[in-house]
Amino acid sequence: MRPHIHEFFRQCAATLPCPELIVEIGAFQVPGQEAIAELRPLFPGKQYLGCDMQHGTGVEQIENIHHLSFADGSVGTFLLADTLEHVSDPIRGMKEVHRCLREDGVAIFTSAMHFPIHAYPNDYWRFTPEAFRLLVEAFPTKAIFYAGPEGFPHTVCGVAAKSGFPVSAIRDLVPRLLEIKVLAPLHLQGDAAKIIQVLAERVIGAQPAGPKPPKAAYPSGLGRCARPGWILLEAMFLDGWIAADNIVNTEITADGVVVGSGPLDRPRPDVAEKAGIPADRIVGFHYQIRMPERRSWTGSLQLWAIDSAGKRTLVRQSPPGILMGDVVIDPRIILHSFDDASA
């Protein structure tokens, strides 16, 4: 789940009177995303059921959105967080959601429009705001939102309600979504990214990498920042790994300033196989880069390992690259259309 999507659901939970039973479709939490993908704490004290087509973290009941097992009018709230792009027949799926909702029920749903293919297990669709509007045309009240440029959004969101749901609550939600500041990850269009990468390599690729970490440093990797002339933008995710015991956290610094940190929580059997290291000794990290004061910076990054006692060890120094803190996409979620048949 993307960080601004979690914030969207947080705002919905705080503003909308989401009735029970609350059912999340697509509740499976991909390894490494357990914290950000967990929506249950947003609805304290309410009956909540996590559903997906496969067993795993966050899933309590197996469901196929094309043939939901819930009786007509038995569900109060449906949540679909970046799920519909993985549904082979989303029109049919949303008809099932409509059938199962109570007359005072609401469906809250999001999807990516400008985003790489991510197959969990398959990735079929990208939706425009009008496509989302079409998916819920049977609902008397529906608000469709987008984030990013109006002509090419990176995200599309929707709230669709049956006739008994208070329309005023959805109207109250609209201004709150304009206040979202959680960073949305930027994915550059492929050809543009290649051009930028070549320019960066030509401009700064010949610079020295700086002092090497001590010889006792653990084997490690810095993903996209492994070669000279790398480009990293604020809000982009950085992957890496460390082969070590007793390491619980990592930090990335730029000239002593922490620009990223997070736990080691991603198995990396692919790296273990290539490096000839036991798989249980290699653990990966995955977190967003955040720049202080959103300034751009050129130089080398430092990867630090933090053990259970809090001791920090420099384990890797990257070659030089460019860290851009002033190229950030707009995370605000903007109203595209509001249809209310009762008005």
pLDDT at 215 over 80: no
**The CATH number of domain 190-324 is 3.90.180.10:** no
Tokens of 108: 């809250």
Q: What is the percentage of the chain residues whose pLDDT exceeds 90?
A: 53
Segment 51-77 shows an average pLDDT of 95
User: pLDDT tens, 278-295?
Assistant: 877 788 888 888 887 768
The answer to whether residue 51 scores a pLDDT higher than 80 is yes
**Cβ–Cβ under 8 Å, residues 240 and 223:** yes
Mean pLDDT, range 209-228, rounded to an integer: 75
**What is the pLDDT confidence band of residue 214, given thresholds at 50, 70 and 90?**
low
Report helix, strand and coil shares of the chain as percent, to nearest 5: 25, 30, 45
The tokens describing 289, both together, are 């880069």
pLDDT band at 136 (very low <50, low <70, confident <90, very high): very high
Q: How confident is the model at residue 338 (pLDDT cuts 50, 70, 90)?
A: very high
Beta-carbon count within 10 A of 296 CB = 13
Contacts of 183 (CB under 8 A, 6+ apart): 3, 4, 234, 235, 288, 290, 328, 331
* pLDDT tens digits, one per residue of 70-101: 999 999 999 999 999 999 999 999 999 999 99
CB burial of residue 199 (10 Å; 0-12, 13-18, 19+)? middle
* pTM given for the model: 0.79
- Mean of pLDDT over the chain: 89
| DSSP code of residue 165 | S
In the CATH scheme, what is the code of domain 3-185+329-340? Answer: 3.40.50.150
What pLDDT score was predicted for residue 213? 61
Phi-psi region of 100 (alpha: psi -120 to 50; beta: other; left: phi over 0): alpha
Round to whole Å and give the CA distance between 134 and 39.
26
CB count within 10 Å of CB 303 equals 27
pLDDT for the residue numbered 63: 96
pLDDT band of residue 209 (cuts 50, 70, 90) is: low
Contact by Cβ (8 Å): 260, 287:
yes
95 three-state secondary structure:
helix
Q: Read off the pLDDT of residues 174-208 as tens digits, 9 standing for 90 and up.
A: 999 999 988 887 776 667 777 777 787 777 765 65
- Indicate the pLDDT class of residue 301, thresholds 50, 70 and 90: very high
Map out the domains of the chain as residue ranges: 3-185+329-340, 190-324
Question: Given pLDDT bands bounded at 50, 70 and 90, which one contains residue 30?
Answer: confident
Instruction: State the pLDDT at residue 245.
Output: 80
Angle at 205 between CA 318 and CA 314, to 5 degrees: 10
